Amino acid sequence: MNKVLTHSLFTDFDIDLFKAGKHFRLYEKLGAHLIEVDGVKGVYFAVWAPTAQSVSVVGDFNYWTGGEHQLQVRWDSSGIWEGFIPQLEKGVLYKYKIESNSNGIVTEKADPFSLYCEKPPHTASVVWDLEYNWKDENWMQSRQEKNGLDKPYSVYEVHLGSWKRGENNRFLTYLELAEDLVAYVKETGFTHVEFMPIMEYPYDPSWGYQLTGYFAPTSRFGKPQDFMVLVDKLHQAGIGVILDWVPSHFPDDAHGLGFFDGSNLYEHPDRRKGYHPDWKSLVFNYGRNEVRAFLISNAVFWLQYYHADGLRVDAVASMLYLDYSRKEGEWEPNIYGGRENLDTISFLKEFNEVIYANFSGVQTIAEESTSFPMVSRPTFTGGLGFGMKWMMGWMHDTLKYFQKETVYRKYHQNELTFSMTYAFTENFMLPFSHDEVVYGKKSIANKMPGDEWQKFANLRLLYGYMFTHPGTKLLFMGSEFGQSDEWSFEKSLDWHLLQYDYHSGIKKVITGLNHLYRTQPALYEKQFSGEGFEWINYSDHQNAILSYIRKGNNPNENLVIVCNFTPVVRENYRIGIPQQGKLVPVFNSDEKQYGGSGIGNSGSLKIDASPYDGRDFSIELILPPLSVTVYSFE
C-alpha cells in the first residue's frame, strides 16, 4: 500500500521555467523538504526522472524496501515525480529507487538535491534543513567594496582535509577550523579563502573534484550548519570566501548522477561529448535545458544559502573544446566545423549573467588554460562573462624561469617579460595552486635552485615578483611558509617547519606582501589595466634585473619596483625615474626578519636630475641579492 500523499510545491510557471532551462532556484522545489500539509508534519520529495516507470523513496524508515512509498509522476510531461510522506523527520536517511520504463534497469540513487549526505563511504541522503542565524550582516552589506576588480584580492587556497589534522591524523571539524583557520588567515593577511570543493564527494583521492552531492557540504567535517559557522566567522573577520565549483564532469558512482533513471539524464548521451577520458568521468549535457537549470541553480544555491562571495569554476578549458584530450576521430566538430563546444559557451555565458544579475559583490573566476578569447569580458561584448581568469601562462613561464640556476637567467629574461604582452587581455589572477605541488612537481620551495640560503631568497623573490606583477593573487596552503614536501591530501601540512627561521621568514614575507598589497592602491586600483603598469627597464638581461612602475589613480601613490634575479649585490645601480623628488623604501624581501642578508637602502633617497633609461631623472640604488625592493615617492 502506497503511504505517500499527493502534494506539490510546483506551480505551472515553475514547470514552464524548468522545461525551458530558466528555473534557477530548483532547490526550492526538487529534493526533500520538511513541510506541513493540512496540519501534518512530514517530508515532501520531488525528483526528476523522466524515463522512470516507478520511483520509490527508500530509507531507514521503511527498511530500504521499494514499493511502499511510491512517488507519483506529474501529468505535465516534466518528468518530475513527487509526493508527501507524513511523520518523517529531520535526520531520516533515504534514497530514490528508480525502475526505468525503457529497459527494466533499477537504480538506487542519492538525491541530486540533498542538503546533507551520510559520511562517506556511506552514500545515503539525509533529510535536513538550512536554518541558521547568520551574523555577517556587516560583511554582506559592504562586500561590494571588498570584492571589486579594483580592490586587493589575495587568495589562500585551502584543502580542508589536509590543512591541519587532529590527534591520530583525524580531520578537523568545520567548527575547529572556524577557530584555527580563521585566525591564521587573518594573521597572514590574505583577503580571501578559496576552498577546494566542499560539496559531497565519495573518493578522497579526487580531492573533491568528483562530486555526488552538489547541494551538500561534505559531512566529513560536520553538518551543513557547521560549515555555515566557518563561512560566518571568516566574514566576521573580514575575509571573503570563494568556493571551487565543478560543473565540468561527475563520477559514475552507482549512487551518483550517472545513468540516473536508466538513461543518460545528466550526462551527454554521445560518449564523444559525455565521457571525459582524462578523469574517466561523465560530462554534463550542456544543451539540455533541465541540466542547465540544475547547474545554474546549484551555483545560485551556494551564494544564497552559504553566503559565498565567489565561485572558481574548475576545468573550463575541458568544457570549451570538443577535442579536449581527444585524438582525431574521437570528437565531432560543431555545426560550423570548429572545435568549440557551442552548448558550453552558451551555458557559461548564461551562468555568469545569472550570477552577476542576482548577487552584488561576488566574482566568478575561470580556471582556463588556453587562449580562448574574452573569458573575463562581459557577455554583452561577446565575452564569457567571468570576473577573472587564471593566468596559467604567467605561472608556467615564471616557475620555469625560477627553476633555472641564476647564472643562466640572463639568457631567459624574455620568459618573464613576455607576460606583459598579454597581461591586460583578461582580468588575470596569478595562481600558484595545488596543481603545482603534486605528482612529482615538487613543492614551490623545492623548485628553487641553489643552496639553502639561495632557495629561500629565490622564494622570497618569487613571491615579491608575484605581488608586484599586475593581477590578483592565489597561493596554495603551505606555500606561504615554504612547505618542503609535496602536498599530500592524506596528512596535515608540515607546521613544525615554522620553528626554523627560513620557513618562518617566508611566512613573514607573505604577511608583509599581503600588507603591502592591501595598503598600496598602486598595486590594485588598476591591476587589470595597462594604465597601471610601466616598464622602467626590461632589457638589462645581462644583470638579470627588471624595473617597473605600478600606478594607481593618484600619481603620488605610484610605486617603483626593482627585481634582482641573481645573488650578486648591485651597488650604485641606476634606473630612470619620471619625476623629481625622493624615493622611500617600503618593502625589501632581503630584510633580516625575512631570513635575508639585510642589505638595502634606507631613509629618503634623492632623485637626480640625470637622464637615464629614456627619462629625465634617475636614481642610484643598492640592489640586494635575489631580491625585490619596492619604493614609494615622497
- CA distances, 228 to each of 106, 133, 331 (Å): 36, 9, 42
CA angle 519, 521, 524 (to 5 degrees): 105
8 Å CB contact between 37 and 54: no
Distance CA 294, CA 26 (A): 7
- Residue 13 makes CB contacts below 8 A (sequence gap 6+) with none
Report, in angstroms and rounded to the nearest whole number, the Rg of the chain calculated over CA atoms.
Answer: 27
Catalytic residue check, 367:
yes
Report which of 307, 353, 298, 352 is spatially closest to residue 28, judged by C-alpha positions. 298
Residues constituting the chain:
634
Distance CA 537, CA 580 (A): 18
Is residue 39 packed enough to be buried (19+ CB in 10 Å), middle (13-18) or exposed (0-12)? exposed
Catalytic residue check, 226:
no
Burial pattern 434-473, b for ≥16 Cβ within 10 A else e, equals bbbbbeeebbbbbbbbeeeebbbbbbbbbbbbbbbbbbbb
8 Å CB contact between 29 and 46: yes
Phi/psi at 438 (5° precision): -140, 170
Q: Which amino acid is at 470?
A: P
The SS3 call for residue 232 is: helix
8 Å CB contact between 120 and 114: no
User: What pairing do the DSSP bridges indicate for beta strands 192-195 and 154-158?
Assistant: parallel
From the candidates 99, 157, 261, 314, which is the catalytic residue?
A: 314
Name the E strands within 371-435: 388-390, 428-432
Give a three-class secondary structure readout of 156-184: EEECCCCCCECHHHCECCHHHHHHHHHHH
From the candidates 367, 436, 480, 525, which is the catalytic residue?
A: 367
Omega cis (within 30) before 567: no
8 Å CB contact between 280 and 236: no
- Annotated catalytic residues are 314, 367
